[in-house]
């Protein structure tokens, strides 16, 4: 996931991996050319977006960018002190302090440029996507 502008983003990646996500994914603003802020998949925010927008499907893009990583991180909850949040906290101040709780998944390290159908994708990618926690009402 990426975003522009300020504000809380618990899964933001600010190290070399973040630079890699930006460069491989060409993550720069269309109008301003400003660098986007990269982060790992945040299932807490994704579940919130699904509920808020009544989504029935989600398109997953940029899988080729993720092929560069041996492991992928997926945020499954947030921690703020002793509190554990599996939903978006009600107060933005909590979101600013929240520490992501990650589940690490194996990467697939495959060239996806020739993939045209789901069956063309590496088996490891299918296993990785199936191991993600399900999001209610969305496939």
Do residues 31 and 65 lie in contact, with contact meaning Cβ atoms separated by under 8 Å? Answer: no
Query: For the chain, how long is the longest CA-to-CA vector?
Result: 47
Q: What is the rounded CA–CA span in Å between residue 77 and residue 84? A: 7
Phi, psi of 120 (to 5 degrees): -80, -15
SS3 138: coil
pTM tops 0.85, yes or no: yes
For 2, 4, 16, 67, 70, the CA distances from 22, given in Å and listed in that order, are 9, 12, 10, 14, 17
**pLDDT tens per residue across all 139 residues of the chain:** 898 889 999 999 999 999 999 999 999 988 999 999 999 999 999 989 988 998 888 888 899 999 999 999 999 999 999 999 999 999 999 999 999 999 999 999 999 989 898 888 888 887 677 666 565 556 5
Length of the chain: 139
Do residues 32 and 73 lie in contact, with contact meaning Cβ atoms separated by under 8 Å? Answer: no
Q: What pLDDT is attached to residue 135?
A: 58
Do residues 95 and 87 lie in contact, with contact meaning Cβ atoms separated by under 8 Å? Answer: no
DSSP 133: P
Q: What pLDDT is attached to residue 137?
A: 56
């Amino acid at each position: 996931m990426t975003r522009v502008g300020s504000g809380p983003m618990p899964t933001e990646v600010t190290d070399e991996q973040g630079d890699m996500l930006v460069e491989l994914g060409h993550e720069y603003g269309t109008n301003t050319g400003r660098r986007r802020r990269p982060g790992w998949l945040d299932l807490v925010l994704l579940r919130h977006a699904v509920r808020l927008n009544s989504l029935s499907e989600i398109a997953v893009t940029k899988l080729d960018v993720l092929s560069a990583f041996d492991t992928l991180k997926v945020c499954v909850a947030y921690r703020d002190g002793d509190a554990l949040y599996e939903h978006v906290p009600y107060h933005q101040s909590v979101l600013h302090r929240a520490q992501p709780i990650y589940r690490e998944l194996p990467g697939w390290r495959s060239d996806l440029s020739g993939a045209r159908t789901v069956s063309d994708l590496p088996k490891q990618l299918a296993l990785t996507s199936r191991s993600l926690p399900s999001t209610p009402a969305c496939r």
